Amino acid sequence: MKKLYISKDADPRLTAYLESLGYTLQYIHSQGIVDNAIASHPDIFLCKMGVAQDAPVYFAEEKDLGADYPAEAAFNAACTGKYFIHNLSCTGEKLLCAAKAMGMELIDVKQGYTKCSVVIVDENAIITYDAGIVRACRQYPELQVLQVSPGFVRLDGYDTGFIGGASGRVGDEIIFHGDLFAHPDFQRIVAFIEKRGLTCRWFPEFKLTDIGSIL
């Protein structure tokens, strides 16, 4: 069964498209565990350990998280399959143990909301606005990093959302939840993705919006 985890607040145009591709959608929704603005975000409650369709998925239990940062970011690691990128001081213990057991290269960054901040393109390529993540990842020559402008992503309850949280890799597509064309780095983003043999999909009918990733 092909399954994707997605926010209950995802736009129906996105969910209809994903279902048309043959995916079963598992909607995420919680109350009283983390901040309400991210209470339905998949990348808060689970971590997919790579871009492969069959990559393991690890789920946080309520005791693994907290209502405030950094506790609520314990499972918000960005995993390409080869690299595990997170603020390792706040990574959930069972998630960190899993990454080590899988032999993933651990990259320590200051940003706890790492998956929110990162578009995972493939095992060796990511997109992020976060300068600290860029600096850390560029120490690994095989890991290609496209740095884009911060902002231009909606997240209700916050001044801005994050581009990683407004996206996800589905098969050979990088799908953006909203109008990627309105982002000032649109052309660079598309070129970076297409250079790796992948395609982009976005929805011009509504603003690019952070929904906690498509996982």
Locate 17 and state its tokens: 């498209």
Kindly write down the DSSP assignment for every residue of 32-81, as one continuous string: SSS-GGGTT-HHHHEEE-SSSTT--EEE--GGG--SSTTGGGTT--EE-S
Task: Say which amino acid occupies 174.
Answer: I
Domains of the chain and CATH, by start: 3-201 (3.75.10)
Query: Alpha-carbon distance 183 to 143, whole Å?
Result: 24
Please give the share of the chain, as a percent, with pLDDT higher than 90. 98
Cβ neighbours, 10 Å, residue 170: 18
Residue corresponding to tokens 């998280």: 65
Q: How many residues does the chain have?
A: 215
Q: How confident is the model at residue 25 (pLDDT cuts 50, 70, 90)?
A: very high
Residue pLDDT, tens place only, 47-87 = 999 999 899 999 999 999 999 999 999 999 999 999 999 99
- Give the pLDDT confidence score for residue 157 in this predicted structure: 87
Task: Say which amino acid occupies 162.
Answer: F
- Give the pLDDT confidence score for residue 1 in this predicted structure: 75
Residue 147 clears pLDDT 90, i.e. is over it:
yes
Segment 141-152 mean pLDDT: 97
The pTM for the full model equals 0.97
